[in-house]
Homo-oligomer: A and B are copies of this chain.
Amino acid sequence: MARLIEQFERLPGIGPRSAQRLALYLLRQPEEQSQAFAEALLAARQLVGQCQRCGHLSAESHCNICVNQERNIGIICVVADSRDLLAIERTREFKGNYHVLGGLISPMDGVGPETLLIQALIKRLDPEVVQEVILALTPSVEGDTTSLYLARLLRPFCKVTRIAYGLPMGSELEFADEITLARALEGRRTFE
């Protein structure tokens, strides 16, 4: 019992109390459910790997976005990890392809460019196919460092853009922090 609680506690966002509640719940359910849970866990771990092209989670050698013929292969959106990719997919606004770096450059944590999936990205940049790389990284020190590094590296191959930093929807100007407001001003756009 203690071992099961400990395993749950290791998951992000689950504290000791939640872990206990989840473990107790599972023990009260029929045995088949624990069996199904354990099998799903092992199977997922065994079957889900990385897409060999973009680095996204995938059970096949290529993920369902990379094999989708209807997606525009001329635009590659670069994200830090698969969660960010899924967030962008939820907007239903982006019809291009992705590239998942597997993290952000962070010298403080010992993460250098060589540990990220950058060489594979450069190999994808056939100038006859790819017109634009969109850097969709978080607005933070690590995100900015990585964006700057990639922009310099990729510019010889194609146009490099980054997503807009500014006021989020529904926010109040007066409560925005100074850096966000300064960036929103600096990044202003002409009305079309």
User: Which residues from chain A sit less than 8 Å from chain B, CB to CB?
Assistant: 77, 79-80, 83-84, 86-88, 90-94, 134-140, 147, 151, 155, 159-191
Contacts and interface: CB of A to CB of B under 8 A. Distances in A.
Contact of A186 (B93, B159, B188): B93
A188 B161 contact: yes
Contacts of A190: 159-161
A146 to B, nearest CB: 12
Instruction: Report copies per complex.
Output: 2
A191 B155 contact: yes
A183 B165 CA distance: 10
A78 to B, nearest CB: 11
B184 A177 contact: no
Nearest to A154: B191
Contacts of A174: 83-84, 86-87
A164 B161 contact: no
Given A174-B86, A185-B94, A169 B179 contact: yes
A134 B168 contact: no
Give 10 closest A-B pairs by Cβ, nearest first.
A164-B166, A164-B187, A151-B191, A166-B166, A163-B184, A91-B182, A161-B188, A84-B173, A83-B174, A168-B180
Given A165-B167, A191-B151, A185 B140 contact: no
Contacts of A164: 164-167, 183-189
A65 to B, nearest CB: 16
14 contacts: A87-B174, A88-B185, A91-B181, A139-B168, A139-B171, A155-B191, A161-B191, A163-B167, A163-B187, A164-B164, A164-B184, A164-B186, A166-B167, A167-B168
